[in-house]
Amino acid sequence: MAAKKGLGKGLDSLIPSNVLDTPDNKQKKDKAQTPDSVVDINLVEPNRDQPRKVFDEDALIELADSIKQVGLLQPILVQDRDGYYEIIAGERRWRACKLAGLKEIPVIIRKFTEQEIVEISIIENIQREDLNPIEEAMAYKRLLDEFNLKQDEVAEKVSKNRTTITNSLRLLKLTEEVQQMIVDGKLSTGHARAIISIENPAEQVEIAEKIFDNKMSVRDVEKYIKSLGKPPKQKRKINDSLQVVYSNLEEQLKLILGTKVSILSKGGEGSGKVEIEFYSHDDLDRIVELIKR
């Protein structure tokens, strides 16, 4: 498997690695990249098709404060679009510069194909781990659909294994409401993958809300989804007089043990079972001690 922080095959020869907005290239005081030019910040515009749509406001303010003190040491990567400069890498820094009140911004100007622009934008954000799971999945889908790449080719370009790409793309099978819950952080990708097998959109939303409301673990969700395909167990019918006896015994045991008790008949010669519920390890210990006494 390729290393996570690789730029993808061929991309490291296209651009200087230290103009990418990655964890290794934060605002630094000791080393500044020489820009090709300094341009009016109002002539710089973000790439509308860039995969990242959500920016952490607190992190932007922190970066803006740093820029106010020492300036922008790492220029942004742009492409000349005849009248304005389109950001290829560094929209976060550009936003922070605007917050800091800069009138001009240092840039490195390069010429790229549309596919290279998409690849660089995806790689920059993946390296920073700033894309939410849905943004990342949509970015991979764009490489597949627009440039007719195969999943293993996408995996190589973004330095991920193919299984990661496949699992990411599967999230797009979820209904938009569930996808938004992932974006909002209400569902983890583990929860999301567990409900992908549910084909009915309304049922997907219902289960997703149940997961969030009840704070279900991924394992709990997997068990719940698995149980949906099983027919409910049919209770054996018992005569009314026996049911009255069982109900009375259940109430007596409930008072003694302080928890719900069910007596279930298996039919035949009066066979059955007694179910005693407990709600924690401590509760189980308490019940066991009562039974022992």
Among candidate residues 57, 86, 91, 136, the one labeled active-site is: 91
Residue 114 among the catalytic residues: no
| CA separation for the pair 234, 223 (Å, rounded) | 20
In 3-state terms, the chain is what percent helix, strand and coil (to 5)?
50, 10, 35
DSSP conformation letters of 115-170: HHHHHHHHHHHHHHT-S-HHHHHHHHHHHHHHH---HHHHHHHTT--HHHHHHHHH
| CA separation for the pair 45, 33 (Å, rounded) | 21
| CA separation for the pair 143, 164 (Å, rounded) | 15
Q: Which residues are catalytic?
A: 91
